[in-house]
């Protein structure tokens, strides 16, 4: 197995788009395809990553918009790594303007998983009042309709509402602090339309699981959702 084969291995179906973006970024960052060189064809990438060509095409489009890839048409066309690559962006939790270390990224993501998967499970285990159910549903509606700068704010609000529904006041400060750390990291990567649509679908799955009292389903759906965000953050920032 070559290094390229090791990176371009099948991705998990649940977050296929996010993991495809991450794998392509790894291929670029590790120099497996050098600046100016062509990526494997969409057909080849789809086969090696075990995803649809639509998923590969969406990932390539997103990375082209972010400045990592260039598509050329014609006899010698294809998708090429940009000659000049964007610098990894983002800031750690304590020092704005300084790139985060891998340890800082992992700490924020692991802590987020512990907090938010537990919160989803705890919220689903409670008998919610009518007002609490409406709060969750309205927060979902608002985040689903958000665009641009409002998306991050309303996405954060939905996640914090889930924390509120656990009935644990002690959880909320930790959840809010961690969300600030994660948002600083998220501010360092582009908003990808395909990822936002996927996140909205996952938010709905989480919400329905909580509202129907499905503890295992809520935890699993939240874990899957966070894995998608983590894949993008590791891909862009590591």
Residue 70, strand partner residues:
80
- What SS3 state is found at 85? coil
- Give the pLDDT band (50/70/90) at residue 94: very low
pLDDT tens digit sequence for 115-133: 999 999 999 999 999 999 9
CA dihedral 178, 181, 182, 188 (to 10 degrees): 180
89 domain-assigned: no
pLDDT tens digit sequence for 143-171: 999 877 678 888 988 999 999 999 998 89
HSE-CB of 56 using CA atoms within 13 angstroms: 18
In the DSSP assignment, the letter for residue 148 is T
Range of the domain at 140: 102-237
Token pair 């930790």 is found at 174
What are the residues whose beta carbons fall under 8 Å from the beta carbon of 148, sequence distance 6 or more? none
Q: What is residue 92's predicted lDDT score, i.e. its pLDDT? A: 42
For residue 97, pLDDT over 60 is answered with no
Same domain flag for 120 and 76: no
Same domain flag for 42 and 113: no
Same domain flag for 139 and 41: no
pLDDT tens digit sequence for 59-92: 999 999 999 999 888 777 889 999 888 865 544 4
Cβ-count burial 224-234 (b if 16+ within 10 Å, e if not): bbbbbbbbbbb
Q: What is residue 138's predicted lDDT score, i.e. its pLDDT? A: 94
Q: What is the number of structural domains in the chain?
A: 2
CA angle 200, 219, 231 (to 5 degrees): 55
Same domain flag for 62 and 119: no
CA atoms of 109 and 229, how far apart (whole Å): 9
């Amino acid at each position: 197995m070559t290094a390229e084969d090791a990176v371009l291995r099948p991705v998990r179906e649940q977050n296929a788009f996010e993991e495809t973006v991450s794998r392509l970024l790894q291929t670029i960052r590790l120099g497996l395809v050098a600046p100016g060189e062509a990526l494997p064809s969409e057909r080849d990438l789809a086969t090696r990553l075990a995803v649809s060509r639509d998923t590969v095409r969406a990932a390539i489009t997103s990375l082209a918009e972010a400045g990592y890839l260039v598509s050329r048409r014609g006899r010698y066309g294809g998708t090429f790594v940009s000659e000049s690559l964007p610098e990894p962006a983002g800031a750690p939790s304590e020092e704005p303007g300084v790139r985060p270390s891998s340890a800082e990224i992992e700490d924020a993501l692991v802590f987020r998983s512990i907090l938010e998967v537990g919160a989803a499970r705890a919220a689903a285990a409670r008998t919610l009042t009518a007002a609490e159910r409406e709060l969750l549903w309205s927060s979902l509606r608002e985040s689903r309709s958000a665009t641009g700068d409002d998306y991050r704010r309303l996405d954060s609000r939905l996640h914090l509402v889930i924390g509120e529904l656990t009935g644990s006041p002690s959880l909320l400060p930790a959840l809010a602090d961690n969300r600030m750390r994660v948002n600083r990291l998220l501010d360092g990567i582009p908003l990808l339309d395909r990822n936002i649509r996927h996140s909205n679908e996952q938010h709905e799955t989480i919400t329905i699981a909580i509202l129907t009292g499905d503890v295992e389903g809520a935890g699993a759906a939240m874990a899957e959702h966070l894995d998608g965000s983590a894949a993008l953050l590791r891909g862009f920032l590591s």
